[in-house]
Amino acid sequence: MNVCVPRTLLSYTGFCLIRAMQLNFAEMSSPSPDPLPTIGSVSESLGLEPHVVRYWESEFEQLSPAKDEQGRRVYTEDDIATLNRIYHLLKVEKYTLAGARQVLERGRKASLPDMSEEDLRELQTFLQDILEQIDP
């Protein structure tokens, strides 16, 4: 959207106001600056075919990307981190699908142990004592 108004006819404030309105209009009409990655770009970054990523979605409940208005899968940072973890387990560490599933499930369950505040304080004190012994 171009508005041809000579600067001499407008005060500087008026000119700035029109320019700001032009920029706001341009921002509203353009797509979002950082769209979420789709299956094509995610699979390409992993060096996989898209059908492999779709298969992993059916095998790992931890992986469930949302879909955009057109029905395409879009991946959040958490989804991509989960895909990277699955890739590492299957391709690098050579786990089976069942083994990788178990590792991911254990990781989810082991994220926070059930400990009381008193137990956590004792653990903190114990670890601080060890640190002082190592680095006096």
List pLDDT tens digits, range 28-63.
444 555 688 999 999 999 999 999 999 999 999 999
- Listed by start position, the domains of the chain span 1-30, 39-109
Report the interhelical angle of 77-87 vs 39-46 (nearest 10°).
40
Q: What pLDDT digit, counting tens, does each position of 54-92 carry? A: 999 999 999 999 999 899 999 999 999 999 999 999 999
Contact 62/75 with Cβ under 8 angstroms? no
| Per-residue pLDDT at 20 | 52
| Per-residue pLDDT at 119 | 81
Nearest to 85 by CA among 112, 62, 67: 62
Percent of the chain with pLDDT over 70: 69
Write down the CATH number for the domain with range 39-109.
1.10.1660.10
State which of 22-26, 75-79, 104-108 shows the largest mean pLDDT. Answer: 75-79
* Neighbour count for residue 52 (Cβ, 10 Å): 14
| Per-residue pLDDT at 127 | 87
The pair of three-digit structure tokens given for residue 76, joined into one six-digit string: 């959040």
pTM exceeds 0.75, yes or no: no
User: Tokens 């407008």, residue?
Assistant: 10
